[in-house]
Amino acid sequence: MAKTGYNTGGKNAVLDFFRSHRDRQFTADDVINALEEKCRATGEKLPGKSSVYRIISKFEEMGALRCFFDSETSKRLYQYAGEHCDDHFHLKCSECGQVVHLECKIGDQLLRHISSDHGFSVSAGKSILLGECEKCRKKRENT
């Protein structure tokens, strides 16, 4: 990964946290709470709130984290941006938050079409397709 400035415990702790929960999304507060718990257990120093916000922003800027917005709660959600996540679209269930990586040919075809016919260079990694997953749909229909 690219250099991020000085190497500090706070940055490592935050990035470790996101790296070990790659397929979920967290608010800044979630991260703060998780670190608090971890630090209570290990005795490490707990990074303060403003530092966590700063660290998250820096990682987002660098592309290590991806930012979403939870309209229900008005909070930003962050997720570790894996190595090839800018290549493909992501489906997100508005209900349960599950994210599915759409690594299919047709996604690439759509990107090429958009580029050639509409002159847009779409960032697939930042483009979330919102919908409802099968599980949530069935749950909804059975009630």
Sites of contact with a second copy (CB under 8 A): 67, 69, 71, 76, 91, 93-94, 100, 102, 104, 106-107, 109-110, 113-114, 117-124, 126-134, 137
- What three-state secondary structure class fits 124? helix
Strand-pairing partners, residue 68, are 77
CA distance 124 to 105: 13
DSSP summary character for residue 45: P
The residue among 59, 74, 61, 76 whose CA lies nearest residue 13 is 59
Q: With CB cut-offs between 5 and 8 Å by kind, which of a second copy, DNA, none does residue 102 bind?
A: a second copy
For DNA, give the closer residue by CB, 16 or 103: 16
- Smallest gap from Cβ 115 to DNA, in A, equals 31
Q: With CB cut-offs between 5 and 8 Å by kind, which of a second copy, DNA, none does residue 49 bind?
A: DNA
